[in-house]
Amino acid sequence: MKNKSWKPWILLSPSLAAVFFLLVVPVCFVIVYSFWLRAPSGADIPAFQFGNYAKFFEDFFYPSILLTTLRVALETVFLCLIMGYIPAYFFYKTESKLKPFLMIIVMLPFWISFIIRTLSWINILGDSGLINHVLMRIGVIQEPIAMLYNEGAVIMGLLQYLLPFMILNIYVSLDGIDKSLAEAAKSLGCTEWQAFKEVTMPLSLPGVSAGCLLVFVLTCGTYLPPMILGGPGNEMIANLIFKRVIGTLDWPFGSAISAILLILLATIVYTYNRYMGISQIFKTLSNE
Amino acid sequence: MKKIISGWSLIKIFTLLVYIWMFAPIVAVVILAFNPQQFGSFPMEGFSFKWFVKLSQNSTILDAFKNSLVLGSFTAIFSTAIGVPAAMAFIRYEFRGKEFLNTLLLAPIMIPEVVLGVALLLFIRWLQQPKSFALLLIGHVVLTLPYVLLIVQARLVGIKREYEEAALSLGASPFQTFREITFPLLAPAVFAGMLFAFTISFDDVTATLFWATAQNQTVPVKIFGMLRNSISPEINALGAVMIVLTVSTPLLAGYISRKFAKGSGK
């Protein structure tokens, strides 16, 4: 028994080494770099000062991008919740033979390239996209309506990317609820709606909150949908980081913005974990 | 009673609408790929394979495909090679700090890719190493490791320890036990983990944009570059190819793993 204690560590060491050197250490570098200075020549000077953070909050420009990010994230979570709960509930309740098939279909987008799914909305929302084409054909409008390159289009792209995560999280939670509970409530005189509101819905909340957290966190770090479907005013925080680091090579400032995003998300995840426990999310993801 | 039925049919209709909403854009990509017209948009003006032919003659895209395949395969191999032992450790052993370490290894799921991208690139820069294929590979291993871990762990929980103990008590060495008992039972999960790692690597854009050089661009990065102008029929054709490839992979894999599972008596 005694010689067994080192065994798990041998099995773990490659993964731990990978995550330590390729994630933990680099993230520490980001934090350290965020205090450095950038010389006018472009060189980075080691220092310990809060200038990069001060620059971020100096005027309204950068914080407004942060606010846009948070607003888009909340809107996406809200829409995802509505568009996700009902299909998840359908899967929970249905006795159709097609259910396994329908569930596979709903998971298919996971496998379809993210960039293809994002750009596919151009074919729908663009000036010569499906909607404008049909509306002009039947004569409702003469000129195409501009539906692309705004916040709505960005949210469309995000929803399509994140909805399967939400449906899966809610469904896993619903699936664990004994259907006889709602039946019992009904036999005691509840209506269908009351039984749902008082019994099923509260019991599904762990899945709902896990889905919301996952969608929120993933939206906050999103880069592609605002780039492809958004206009100049729909920049989100990840776009800003990319521009500062790859575009202007301003590593210290880019690091500081990364650190701000990281701290924000860590606070949210930490608070969530405190009250709800993070394991629900991992449990659901492993079901896929 | 009547009210209940109508409520249920509303749920059904809503679910159907969500399906349509989710798949309409994807279907549109595939349809438009066959549109011979120059601008890659509606209306359809016939049916042609012209853009697929043009695609197959585009050497930069073919190179990108090759890069993606090589990168995805190596990522899948490395990620499962280090992920499977870690999953074994978490499920089969008790040790201090298990919860914490498990969360640490799953953390990359919750960290925005942009931050991962910046962090690793910063580290490489500090080490004064140039961007290279190796950077892309190690980056993708970190990105995919949590998913491999999740899938393999979930599967391992379902494999009874008694099987392994029986083999050990009958005189098999630990390695023999792993090779003869654990691994065959675990194979579908390892396979699924590899497939998942491959897909995530093949699909990744954001972090790859940070790490890739002009020489080792992947397909999604290439598409991103092509999009600068506008959507073209060639992009739709490429999209159609990728949709067909990526949709058939899990379906095929599901079929194979079911065969596997039947073979192992599950």
pLDDT of residue A70: 95
Q: Where are the domains of chain A?
A: 59-285
pLDDT of residue A2: 44
B100 close to B34: Cβ distance less than 8 angstroms:
no
B79 close to B141: Cβ distance less than 8 angstroms:
yes
pLDDT of residue A4: 62
- For chain A, how many residues are written? 288
Query: Is pLDDT of A193 > 80?
Result: yes
pLDDT of residue A103: 84
Cβ-defined contact of B14 to A86 (cutoff 8 Å): yes
- Going by C-alpha positions, the residue among B132, B121, B139, B140 that lies closest to residue B73 is B140
In sequence order, what are the beta bridge partners of A37? Answer: A45
pLDDT of residue A1: 42
Distance CA A269, CA B139 (A): 23
B151 close to B82: Cβ distance less than 8 angstroms:
no
* Level-2 CATH architecture, domain B59-263: Orthogonal Bundle (1.10)
| Residue in B with minimal Cα distance to A85 | B15
Distance CA B12, CA B20 (A): 12
Chain A residues touching B28 at Cβ < 8 A: 120, 123-124, 130
Chain B residues touching A227 at Cβ < 8 A: 224
Tens-digit pLDDT profile for residues A217-229: 999 999 999 999 9
Is the domain spanning A59-285 CATH 1.10.3720.10? The answer is yes
Q: Where are the domains of chain B?
A: 59-263
CB-count exposure of residue A40 (10 Å: 0-12, 13-18, 19+): exposed
In sequence order, what are the beta bridge partners of A38? Answer: A44
Tens-digit pLDDT profile for residues A222-263: 999 999 998 888 999 999 999 998 888 888 999 999 999 999
What is the pLDDT confidence band of residue A74, given thresholds at 50, 70 and 90? very high
Q: What part of A 197-226 touches B (C-beta under 8 Å)?
A: 217, 220-224
List of chain B residues with pLDDT < 50: 1, 264-266
The overall average pLDDT reported for chain A is 87
Distances (CA, A) of B8 to A187, B2, B3, B154: 19, 10, 9, 34
pLDDT of residue B135: 92
ipTM: 0.86
pLDDT of residue B215: 85
pLDDT of residue B1: 47
pTM: 0.88
Distances (CA, A) of A157 to A81, A99, A228, A266: 15, 26, 9, 25
Cβ-defined contact of B26 to A163 (cutoff 8 Å): no
Q: What part of A 120-179 touches B (C-beta under 8 Å)?
A: 120-124, 126, 128-130, 133, 137, 160, 163
Q: Per-residue pLDDT averaged across A28-40, rounded?
A: 88
Distance CA A128, CA A132 (A): 6
Distance CA A167, CA A207 (A): 9
Cα of B30 to nearest chain A Cα, Å: 10
Cβ-defined contact of B119 to A278 (cutoff 8 Å): no
Cα of B154 to nearest chain A Cα, Å: 6
pLDDT of residue B263: 54
pLDDT of residue A51: 85
Cα of A59 to nearest chain B Cα, Å: 23
Phi, psi of B192 (to 5 degrees): -60, -40
Cβ-defined contact of B25 to A124 (cutoff 8 Å): yes
Q: Per-residue pLDDT averaged across A56-80, rounded?
A: 93
Question: CB-side exposure of A64: number of CA atoms within 13 Å?
Answer: 7
pLDDT of residue B230: 67
